[in-house]
Structure 1
Amino acid sequence: MITNILSIILLITFFIQSLLCLRFLTTVFKIKGGITTMIVLSAINAYANLSVGLFFSANSTTTYAFILLLYVVQALIFFDADNVTKVTFGLITPLHLIAYSFIFGAILAVVGGFSFYEIFSTPNKFLIVRIATAILLSISALIYQQLGTKFCNLLKKYPERMRVLFMAEILILIQLIATSTIFLISQAHIYLVFVVMLVGVGASGIFYIGVYMLVGFEDDYRIYSHSRLLENMYRNMLIEKSERTIEIDCTTGKILNYIVGGEVDKSFIGTSYTTLIHNVMENKIHPDDKDLFMEQHKVSHMSTVCSDVDKYAYESEFRLKGDDEEYTWYKDFINVQKEANDNIKAVLVSNNIQLNKNLEFCANMDGLSGLYNKKATSELIEDYIINSKSGILFMIDIDNFKGINDNFGHDVGDEVIRDIATKLSCIFKKSDILGRIGGDEFMVFVKSPEPVNIEDKALQICEAIYTTYYNDAGSVTISSSIGICSVTEAITNFQDLYKVADNALYESKSRGKNTFTIHYT
């Protein structure tokens, strides 16, 4: 009766242990057949550990050899990896199983005064050792699930380490199986108990020391070499990817290195950085960008930003005139670092970002009208309101525009949209925000640092847009309905401003179109 209960407990514990171990291995590689295979293998392993141990109860060496072979064969068949990896990870479970059974067998021998032969040839005692072994194996599997990912990734990354671990496992298993011949001795002897205990603990300890050496030494090496690796990677990346890299000694103001297109230009080395940057500013930089460019590229600015910290990095965007007299957008990444002797050095990396600017422009613009699209219009207005707390919003809807498309076709409709966009651009300043937010809806936000005659602007819009189009079938007249609202103390964000102006627009619609409505607080 007791034997049957212990057998059931062993089956359950070994099934759980095997499932946990296989689940851990799925973090390393795929197991063919997935969860179904894992369940079947777990059941096979549980039954094998029960039946084989009982069948070969008088010869534990044979038992261990059979179990070892079972796990290796399973790994070779069902693990999706190279053979060395399969066998290496396939040996982990039997290695722990044998080592832990040594430990628990020794503990039972000390507590009960039994010989190892008696323990491993008596079903109940054998089952107790196996159950304790399965429980400890399950705990080990749970720990590995939490901590073993780094270990496994390192083994996959460095195959030579996999081979080292494989050889270590083989040597440990040879020692364990050779030691298991002691279990054939029928006499109880305390010396043999301690030998078995030390071999079990030693085998486990050697394995985990090996794991620590693989993982821990890797961490130490990574920490030791991290700074140099980053420095070399960063430097190589800058040289290879940038159009121009300049290294500057901010203490002397001299150029230490000058690299263009990956090639060193020695003619600049040792010359004055200030002179170089001043000439670039005077002759190459767009007039609107000169002041900010000079401020951000001065040696004094670089020294100041690094006065209280050891490292500082910032960016600078500007337009640079090319040989074709056209301006191109560039971005400089400037990294300033204070050295141990308090000397300050800077690395300036320059890249052409015109493509990014073009993509940004396309993402923000309405392709038909050439004005901002709805998303960009909303974001620009919102940003301006947050920073300036002022402005006037014009919501403009084109009356009868559907008639243009229906009677003249969409090509004419597209031309009308472009014509309206041109008219609005003429009425408002370049600094104002003009957008097309729908098929026949436009939005204009007037930045108003100076007083604006709102009614005059609204009348200009109505007069400019009011147009009659003719063809053989008849005529269609378009006009504009306008809703207008200003930023006030009560209306302080874009959402509220839009809502009020939109309501004012529909009031204009209800009053017969071709008119405007101004919302007054």
Structure 2
Amino acid sequence: MGRLEEVERELKECKETLSNTQQQLELLLDNIPGGIMIYDAETGKIDYIGEGCLRLFHCTEEQFREHFYNSFNLFVMREDRAMVKEQIQNQSEFFDTVELTYRVRGLLDDVIWIYHKSRKFMSKDGRPQFFVVINDVTNEKLIHAQLQHNTEQLYIESERFRLLEEATDNVEYDYDVLLDTMESSEMDDDGNRIIIRNFLGGDYMKKMLHPKDYPLALDKFRKALKEPTKGNAEYRVISNDEDGGGFNWFRISYASFADKNGHVIRFVGSAKDISAEKAEQEELRAKVDIDSMTGLLNKEAIQRAIENYLQKSEYSDCHAIMMIDTDHFKAINDTFGHDYGDEVIKFTGRSIRDIFRESDFVGRMGGDEFMVFMKHTTPRITELRATQLNDALRHTFAENGISVQISCSIGIAYFARDGEDYSTLFRHADEALYQVKENGRDGYCVYREDI
């Protein structure tokens, strides 16, 4: 009996030791910062919930399991589930432990940021499980978000001042997206910076910009409000001169900035008055584009103008190109000299210009050849103008009892019937002009395929 009593005493001591160890383990687990849970790696079913988890969510175990449907997958906030699943799979392939942060919606519908550290192990019944330690890091996330916001604001301000440093005469603009408020470095009568509230909602851009520039400017502005963007643009802005009604040209450098969620919150820009530069460019362009003898567009300019206009035209539009050749001009030069011939060229240019609308393109192609592009016309109106031009240029020049009569030959081609691009229309109008020459000059001919 002695040996049996000894075995029973040792067994009792082992049970007491095991119980003490279990109590110490439970006390340790319950006092780990945060909380512990164990869930099935394949199904996501939560097998164990520590007291720390229940304290973290201020609930009982029954409430916890009911709220999260006893599933780790549903424990994670819906918006983060795909990310969490991917992170756990990726990290488990290469590391013993998994670390990540995600959001959980608590029992009071509050959002809690969780730091998650887990290790995979096999249960007694051979099921893969995750042993997870979680901590509430919501305050740390809020602090980090504030720091990030401050960093973003610092970057915005530095970019804003960088733009200003590029030219001290520039006008600074700062648009707050949330407040819909535009602040300008320009001063009002009281010496305060000009602030425009309800800027986008009040359609102030439409009130500020030239009607032709407004649609493009609004499109660029809206795109910059959708995603962070940097760019440059040139627009005409209504002048504040006493006379009113004028416009000044501005070159604008701008940038928009987003918060950590990718939402644009600020738009800053720097605008420089380039009116004098534009005036110089226009003066130079005019010198390049204008035929010095007649004041009409030169060959390159009228071709460019027509090509640009055709690109904006609809197939249903009707435009006309006229090729005009001065008949017997060589006789003028041979009889009266080249200086006299120059005056005849000027006379021809004025006569053509007087017959057509201001909106039509009139140009000199070189020598005694001219071109007219009639916008939005009809065959009846076009051919009426051709007849008027024939009558106007049927003219006799006389000097010292010697006279030479000139006239003109005109070839006509229509957009889009006879062609949809400049080259085709030019070729067909020229073929029609050649037909008039073949028929004895002093008339017009409309292009046909059989001529």
**Range of TM-score over shorter length:** 0.5 to 0.7
Query: Are 1:307 and 2:225 an aligned pair?
Result: yes
Partner residue in 1 for 2:332: 404
Q: Within 5 A, what are the aligned runs for 1:321-360?
A: 322=241, 327=246, 330-333=249-252, 335-340=254-259, 342-351=264-273, 352=275, 353-360=278-285
CA contact (8 A) 1:371 1:421 kept: yes
Partner residue in 2 for 1:382: 307
Partner residue in 2 for 1:416: 344
For residues 40-94 of structure 1, give each alpha carbon's deviation from its aligned partner in whole angstroms, at most 9, with x where no partner exists.
xxxxxxxxxxxxxxxxxxxxxxxxxxxxxxxxxxxxxxxxxxxxxxxxxxxxxxx
CA distance in 1, matches of 2:157, 2:183: 20
CA drift at 1:249: 3.3
CA distance in 2, matches of 1:498, 1:470: 34
Give the secondary structure class of the aligned counterpart of 1:239.
coil
CA distance in 2, matches of 1:234, 1:272: 23
Partner residue in 1 for 2:442: 514
Q: Against the structure 1 CA distance between its residues 323 and 401, is the aligned structure 2 distance closer, same or farther, given a 3 Å change threshold?
A: farther
For residues 206-261 of structure 1, give each alpha carbon's deviation from its aligned partner in whole angstroms, at most 9, with x where no partner exists.
xxxxxxxxxxxxxxxxxxxx999987654322435x5x44344344344434259x
Give the secondary structure class of the aligned counterpart of 2:226.
coil
For residues 125-183 of structure 1, give each alpha carbon's deviation from its aligned partner in whole angstroms, at most 9, with x where no partner exists.
xxxxxxxxxxxxxxxxxxxxxxxxxxxxxxxxxxxxxxxxxxxxxxxxxxxxxxxxxxx
CA contact (8 A) 1:329 1:354 kept: no
Partner residue in 1 for 2:179: 252
CA contact (8 A) 1:238 1:349 kept: no
Q: Against the structure 1 CA distance between its residues 302 and 398, is the aligned structure 2 distance closer, same or farther, given a 3 Å change threshold?
A: closer
Query: Are 1:431 and 2:431 an aligned pair?
Result: no
CA contact (8 A) 1:328 1:354 kept: no
Amino acid at match of 2:226: D
Partner residue in 1 for 2:369: 441
CA distance in 1, matches of 2:447, 2:368: 22
CA drift at 1:479: 1.0
CA distance in 2, matches of 1:404, 1:364: 27
For residues 366-420 of structure 1, give each alpha carbon's deviation from its aligned partner in whole angstroms, at most 9, with x where no partner exists.
1222221111211222233333245211000111223334444444433333332
CA contact (8 A) 2:397 2:404 kept: yes
CA distance in 1, matches of 2:334, 2:242: 50
CA distance in 1, matches of 2:377, 2:252: 34
CA distance in 2, matches of 1:471, 1:294: 57
CA contact (8 A) 2:326 2:368 kept: yes
Give the secondary structure class of the aligned counterpart of 1:310.
coil
Q: Against the structure 1 CA distance between its residues 280 and 496, is the aligned structure 2 distance closer, same or farther, given a 3 Å change threshold?
A: closer
Query: Are 1:453 and 2:360 an aligned pair?
Result: no
In terms of fraction of residues, the more strand-rich structure is 2
| 343-352 or 436-445: bigger deviation | 343-352
Give the secondary structure class of the aligned counterpart of 1:356.
helix
Query: Are 1:235 and 2:173 an aligned pair?
Result: no
CA contact (8 A) 1:485 1:501 kept: yes
CA contact (8 A) 1:399 1:514 kept: yes
CA drift at 1:514: 1.2
CA drift at 1:296: 5.4
Q: Against the structure 1 CA distance between its residues 451 and 489, is the aligned structure 2 distance closer, same or farther, given a 3 Å change threshold?
A: closer
CA contact (8 A) 1:398 1:440 kept: yes
Give the secondary structure class of the aligned counterpart of 2:225.
coil
CA drift at 1:346: 3.1
Structure 1 unmatched ranges of 5 or more: 1-225
CA contact (8 A) 1:250 1:346 kept: no
In terms of fraction of residues, the more helix-rich structure is 1
CA contact (8 A) 2:227 2:258 kept: no
Q: Against the structure 1 CA distance between its residues 320 and 401, is the aligned structure 2 distance closer, same or farther, given a 3 Å change threshold?
A: farther
Q: Against the structure 1 CA distance between its residues 489 and 274, is the aligned structure 2 distance closer, same or farther, given a 3 Å change threshold?
A: same
CA distance in 2, matches of 1:266, 1:297: 29
Q: Within 5 A, what are the aligned runs for 1:98-113?
A: none
Give the secondary structure class of the aligned counterpart of 1:360.
helix
CA distance in 1, matches of 2:347, 2:398: 16
Structure 2 unmatched ranges of 5 or more: 1-154
Percent identity, aligned pairs only? 25
Q: Against the structure 1 CA distance between its residues 278 and 499, is the aligned structure 2 distance closer, same or farther, given a 3 Å change threshold?
A: same
CA drift at 1:297: 5.8
* RMSD across aligned positions (CA): 3.8
CA distance in 2, matches of 1:443, 1:331: 35
Q: Within 5 A, what are the aligned runs for 1:162-173?
A: none
Partner residue in 1 for 2:291: 366
CA drift at 1:422: 2.5
CA drift at 1:463: 0.7
| 317-326 or 365-374: bigger deviation | 317-326
**Higher CA-based Rg:** 2
For residues 91-135 of structure 1, give each alpha carbon's deviation from its aligned partner in whole angstroms, at most 9, with x where no partner exists.
xxxxxxxxxxxxxxxxxxxxxxxxxxxxxxxxxxxxxxxxxxxxx
CA contact (8 A) 2:257 2:267 kept: yes
Q: Against the structure 1 CA distance between its residues 384 and 270, is the aligned structure 2 distance closer, same or farther, given a 3 Å change threshold?
A: closer
| TM-score of the two chains, using structure 1 as the length reference | 0.47
CA drift at 1:485: 1.4
Partner residue in 1 for 2:58: none
CA contact (8 A) 1:398 1:480 kept: yes
CA drift at 1:310: 0.7
Q: Against the structure 1 CA distance between its residues 355 and 473, is the aligned structure 2 distance closer, same or farther, given a 3 Å change threshold?
A: same
Give the secondary structure class of the aligned counterpart of 1:393.
strand
CA contact (8 A) 1:339 1:345 kept: no
Amino acid at match of 1:252: L
CA distance in 1, matches of 2:156, 2:267: 17
Amino acid at match of 2:183: L
Q: Against the structure 1 CA distance between its residues 294 and 496, is the aligned structure 2 distance closer, same or farther, given a 3 Å change threshold?
A: closer
Partner residue in 2 for 1:466: 394
